Structure 1
Amino acid sequence: MTGVPKILMTLGAIIFVVGFLMQFIHIGRLPGDIIVKKGNTTVYFPIVTSILVSIILSAIFYFLGKFR
């Protein structure tokens, strides 16, 4: 169980870096994302953004798995 703190610290650092980069790279509201506005209500379905994030994370985890 000695590897759990190291994994949590690495995961926290990755989340911090991604959060910092998202301040400068606006990946939300891509063409293909669905936005429905009716009156005072707005519903946002980030379909393309979800697919893009999934592809990027899959590539990262694939390459991390190759070097393990």
Structure 2
Amino acid sequence: MNPSLGKYLMGIGLLLLIVGVMIYFFSDKLHWLGRLPGDIRIKRDGFGFYFPVVTCIVLSLLLNLIIWLVRRFF
């Protein structure tokens, strides 16, 4: 097995831990996430459908910006 694979897995695990802690402690400040204008929400009797279109786009842009900054400076 490749030793660098272990480093990548540990890095991903650490990143997930940091994101999880941030969500745990700051969830009351992130209540807008998933309720942006443009998110599709349909509620009917016995049926509910939710598709966060705009939230996915915003998170994708933020993630791409973070990845671009990391690649630029490291």
TM-score (norm 1): 0.83
What's the counterpart of residue 11 of structure 1?
12
Cα separation, 1, equivalents of 2:68 and 2:13: 20
How far residue 28 of structure 1 moved from its aligned partner, in angstroms, is 1.6
Identical columns (%): 37
Moved over 6 A (4+): none
Higher mean alpha-carbon deviation, 14-23 vs 50-59, is at 14-23
Q: Which runs of 5+ in 2 are unaligned?
A: none
What's the counterpart of residue 68 of structure 2?
62
Deviations 1:5-53 (A, max 9, x none): 1111111111222223234223122222110011121110100110011
Cα separation, 2, equivalents of 1:20 and 1:32: 28
TM-score (norm 2): 0.78
CA RMSD of aligned residues (A): 1.4
Cα separation, 2, equivalents of 1:22 and 1:46: 18
Aligned length: 68
Cα separation, 2, equivalents of 1:61 and 1:34: 28
